[in-house]
């Protein structure tokens, strides 16, 4: 075999491996969508281009109107520092009744991003419906009670239990709209 053929063969093999890898691990594109139905404003300042599309669809599924959401990357030092041994991939801050900041770990797969946005949007809905009200830290108002968050384990917080229970359903609804 000539040297030229060998090089051409190697290049061809590399292209084939690249294509197969993309088919196996690549994520399917979203279908074309008209988001003009939305009365909500999503501003995406995160480094992940598609987070606003996921958020628009999720917020619509929750039947939330006239809310503004700002999407941001979690600063990398916080991802590792908030909870030792338990990576933080997302959290939401209420700025006003109709303005929320959602912080997301940008270094995740699209599937994980859909899961995290679903979870955080459920917290937004809890805030909007006034079932969850953030009082001065570390206190929150949940349903009928004012609670000190610092003495309740993360996994025992009722608003978290509710978010984990409902996130799968919302996640499926988002995926159904996107793909
Ligand atoms: Zn949560």
CA of 20 to the centre of ligand 1 (A): 37
The per-residue pLDDT for 24 is 64
Q: Is residue 58 part of a domain?
A: yes
In a domain, 20, yes or no: no
Interval between CA 39 and ligand 1 midpoint (Å): 25
- pLDDT at residue 98 greater than cutoff 70: yes
- Cα(44) to centroid of ligand 1, in Å? 20
Give 118-136 pLDDT, tens digit per residue: 999 999 999 999 999 988 8
- Owning domain of residue 45: 31-178
Domain membership of residue 67 (yes or no) is: yes
Does 35 score more than 80 pLDDT?
Answer: yes
Distance (Å) from CA 119 to ligand 1 centroid: 6
The alpha carbon of 132 and the centre of ligand 1 are apart by a number of angstroms equal to: 12
Residue 166 in domain: yes
Residue 109: inside a domain, yes or no? yes
Answer yes or no: is 101 within a domain: yes
Domains: count for the chain: 1
| Alpha-carbon separation of residue 38 from 7, 69, 78, 118, 176 (angstroms) | 53, 12, 32, 17, 17
Could you tell me the distance, in angstroms and rounded to a whole number, from the CA of residue 79 to the centre of ligand 1?
15
CA 8 – ligand 1 centroid, Å: 53
> Is 57 within a domain?
yes
Quick check: 84 pLDDT over 90?
Answer: no
Rounded to the nearest whole angstrom, what is the distance from the C-alpha of residue 95 to the centroid of ligand 1?
A: 17
Looking up residue 113, the CATH number of its domain turns out to be 3.40.390
- Rounded to two decimals, the pTM is 0.82
The rounded Å distance from CA 140 to ligand 1 centre is 14
Q: Is residue 12 part of a domain?
A: no
Instruction: Report residue 87's pLDDT band, with 50, 70 and 90 as the boundaries.
Output: low
User: How many other CB atoms sit within 10 Å of the CB of residue 89?
Assistant: 19
- 37, pLDDT greater than 70: yes
């Amino acid at each position: 075999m000539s040297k030229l053929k060998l090089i051409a063969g190697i290049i061809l093999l590399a292209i084939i491996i690249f294509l197969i890898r993309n088919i196996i691990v690549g994520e399917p594109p979203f279908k074309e969508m008209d988001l003009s139905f939305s009365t909500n404003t999503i501003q995406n300042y995160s480094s992940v281009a598609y987070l606003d599309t996921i958020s628009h669809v999720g917020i619509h599924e929750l039947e939330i109107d006239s809310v503004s959401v700002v999407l941001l990357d979690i600063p990398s030092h916080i991802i590792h520092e908030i909870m030792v041994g338990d990576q933080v991939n997302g959290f939401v801050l209420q700025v006003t009744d109709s303005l929320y900041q959602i912080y997301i770990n940008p270094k995740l797969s699209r599937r994980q991003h859909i899961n995290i946005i679903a979870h955080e949007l459920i917290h937004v809905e809890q805030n909007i419906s006034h079932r969850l009200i953030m009082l001065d830290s570390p206190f929150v108002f949940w349903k009928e009670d004012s609670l000190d968050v610092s003495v309740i384990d993360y996994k025992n917080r009722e608003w978290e239990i509710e978010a984990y229970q409902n996130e799968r359903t919302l996640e499926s609804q988002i995926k159904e709209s996107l793909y």
